[in-house]
Structure 1
Amino acid sequence: MLRFIRSLLLGGAALCAAPVLAEWHYAERAIMGTEVHLQLWHENASEAEYLIEKVMKEFHRLDNQLSPYKPESELSLVNRKAGKTAVNISDELLSLVDKSLWFSHLTDGAFDISYATLGKHYDFRNRKQADSALTDSLIEALNYRHLHLNKKSKTLRFGHSKTKIDLGGIAKGYAVDKAIQILEQAEVCCASVSAGGDARMLGDKRGEPWLVGIRHPREKSKSAAVIPLSDIAISTSGDYERFFIDEQQERIHHIFNPNTGKPADTAVGDSDKLISVSIIGPRGFDTDPLSTSVFVLGKKKGLALIDRLPQFEAVVIDSNKRLFFSQGLANPQ
């Protein structure tokens, strides 16, 4: 991976030849609880605008289907009914839950969409969190093993009446993949799509790599690293995205440890604690859940996981603000 990145910096073969009169087209919209950014290269302004609207419409469609905050979304319907009976679900939701469960098994539960069982009781804007009594009463319901997915009948049932799910750790990565698919089908050569901490690049940036900054987790205006990328996805999870500082001066953030039912803090010890994780790989559908998983697992177990997975690399920042890399980046062959 690092050798690939270096070859780009040294002027590797251009993936995108610029046609006459072509130019960059940009768009930014607030969707899925974040800012969606789109940049594409096209020779026809009206066609570019059509594609921009098509991509944004897809983001809105997914938001309407998968948002836990929209009462009429399919996800909300499942959360209301699946604790009582098996619920028929769409092929799309089946695919997302199936992939989520695959990552749950891979990570021994570090990735678990049933975190919403307790996560729904946190309000970061109003600095509210579940107290110990509520956490103790719901922790048994927070377990991916309660999710009974029947792929043959296309149904989902919760084995515990109080279990809830949230696809916040995988839906945005999936959405950027869907956006890139739309642009690929339209034969767009070069584009970048991002939604919050998830991004995917189509091709390169007219013969140069896309320079993707990893935000410094404690200094908002700075980048901790800038990585040259082409035709690939990157997802970043950090404890600075949604958080507040409580009365004990502890950082309460949105990435939950399913074992405790609380925001992920220390996996093994203070030296293992991470405050930012970036995963690079072919699809956002995988890099998104992996960034959450590595954050929860901690530095040692998290990097060991990525080192076992072909095609994926990681850049992590620990609680002392030190950068560490997966083997493919630290020791290029």
Structure 2
Amino acid sequence: MRRVEHVMGFPVSLRVDDEHIGERTADAVFAWLREVDARFSPFRPDSEVCRLDRGELSAGAVSADLREVLDLCEEYRIATGGAFDVRLPGRGLDPCAVVKGWSVQRAAELLRAAGARRFVLNAGGDVVVGGGPWRVGVRHPEQADKVCTVAELTDGAIATSACYERGDHIIDGRSGRPATGLVSLTVVAPCLTVADTTATAAFAMGADGIAWAAAREGCEVFAVDAGGGALRTEGFPVARAEARVA
């Protein structure tokens, strides 16, 4: 079973190789992602995030899901010394850097709860897989039709933060200016909540973010610095030829 939909501003593709998993499970996955978009988008005036930001909701009145997201945002803000911050001066509350990985990981858990064992869920290039081995390419930062490395995952997640698609959109909260020092940074972790948030937070830190991300529990890193040099942690799971392509 395969499906692609545009949700939260990017394409989300789902592939499930288990024959007993049907369209009803896919419906539940995409319904959850659409719900997240409606509730947590900083671009929808009626979302819970925007209502909180305008003061229409008190911090104690937010949903358990939003409280979990905000707690994660604060955890990473503290861990990065303020480089990762979802409340930048002059900007509204924007927890998207956490919401994306968190929500897609929840979607993967819906798949597993339905009995899926062999699947790939790809949300705009950030990927959760099960039942591998699967090969996941990391885009070359200067050549869109090439990869600079290929990771191999069995059950886990991979996420990349970079400036080649959306320009200098990741801000270093310490300076208020676009993050510098890295062109792309990829994190492999047991879940996409960790992989995606760690990748964004580390990119915001600049070159220092590589060692910071590598020191996070369960994380392996592949990075390209501003000079074009590639750095990879020893445990980064480089693919073997026989792994399947995600």
TM-score by length of 2: 0.90
How many residue pairs match? The answer is 237
Tell me, which stretches of 5 or more residues in structure 2 are unaligned?
238-246
The match for 1:286 is: 194
**C-alpha contact (below 8 Å) 2:84/2:205 kept by paired residues:** no
**C-alpha contact (below 8 Å) 1:306/1:312 kept by paired residues:** yes
**C-alpha contact (below 8 Å) 1:197/1:237 kept by paired residues:** no
Root-mean-square deviation (Å): 1.8
CA distance in 1 between counterparts of 2:225 and 2:30 reads: 35
Question: Which of 81, 99, 108 in structure 1 is aligned with 2:55?
Answer: 81
Question: Which of 2, 25, 29 in structure 2 is aligned with 1:51?
Answer: 25
Matched, 1:321 2:236: no
CA distance in 1 between counterparts of 2:36 and 2:211 reads: 33
SS in 1 for 2:22: helix
The match for 1:34 is: 10
The match for 2:242 is: none
**C-alpha contact (below 8 Å) 1:236/1:291 kept by paired residues:** yes
CA distance in 2 between counterparts of 1:165 and 1:176 reads: 20
Residues 86 and 191 of structure 1: CA distance in aligned 2, closer, same or farther (over 3 Å): closer
Q: After TM superposition, give the deviation of residue 327 of structure 1 in Å.
A: 4.2
**C-alpha contact (below 8 Å) 1:238/1:276 kept by paired residues:** yes
Q: After TM superposition, give the deviation of residue 320 of structure 1 in Å.
A: 2.5
Q: After TM superposition, give the deviation of residue 87 of structure 1 in Å.
A: 5.6
CA distance in 1 between counterparts of 2:200 and 2:235 reads: 20
Amino acid paired to 2:151: I
SS in 2 for 1:113: coil
The match for 1:91 is: 64
Question: Which of 170, 174, 177 in structure 2 is aligned with 1:255?
Answer: 170
Residues 210 and 285 of structure 1: CA distance in aligned 2, closer, same or farther (over 3 Å): same
Question: Which of 130, 135, 146 in structure 2 is aligned with 1:222?
Answer: 146
Residues 218 and 43 of structure 1: CA distance in aligned 2, closer, same or farther (over 3 Å): same
After superposition, give the CA deviation of every residue in 1:180-220 in whole Å (9 maximum; x if it has no partner). Answer: 1111111111111121232111221xxxx111010111111
CA distance in 1 between counterparts of 2:216 and 2:98 reads: 18
CA distance in 2 between counterparts of 1:279 and 1:167 reads: 19
Matched, 1:191 2:119: yes
The match for 1:173 is: 101
Sequence identity (%): 30
SS in 2 for 1:220: coil
CA radius of gyration, larger in: 1
After superposition, give the CA deviation of every residue in 1:109-148 in whole Å (9 maximum; x if it has no partner). Answer: 1211113x44x5xxxxxxxxxxxxxxxxxxxxxxxxxxxx
CA distance in 1 between counterparts of 2:2 and 2:58 reads: 45
CA distance in 2 between counterparts of 1:232 and 1:279 reads: 11
The match for 1:304 is: 211
CA distance in 1 between counterparts of 2:99 and 2:126 reads: 10
Amino acid paired to 1:30: H
Residues 85 and 326 of structure 1: CA distance in aligned 2, closer, same or farther (over 3 Å): same
SS in 1 for 2:212: helix
Q: Aligned ranges for residues 67-146 of structure 1 at < 5 Å? A: 67-81=41-55, 86=59, 88-115=61-88, 117-118=89-90, 120=91
TM-score by length of 1: 0.68
SS in 1 for 2:235: helix
CA distance in 2 between counterparts of 1:241 and 1:290 reads: 19
CA distance in 2 between counterparts of 1:189 and 1:87 reads: 38
Question: Which of 61, 66, 69 in structure 1 is aligned with 2:35?
Answer: 61
Q: After TM superposition, give the deviation of residue 81 of structure 1 in Å.
A: 0.9
CA distance in 2 between counterparts of 1:79 and 1:309 reads: 30
The match for 1:277 is: 185
**C-alpha contact (below 8 Å) 1:81/1:87 kept by paired residues:** no
**C-alpha contact (below 8 Å) 2:161/2:203 kept by paired residues:** yes
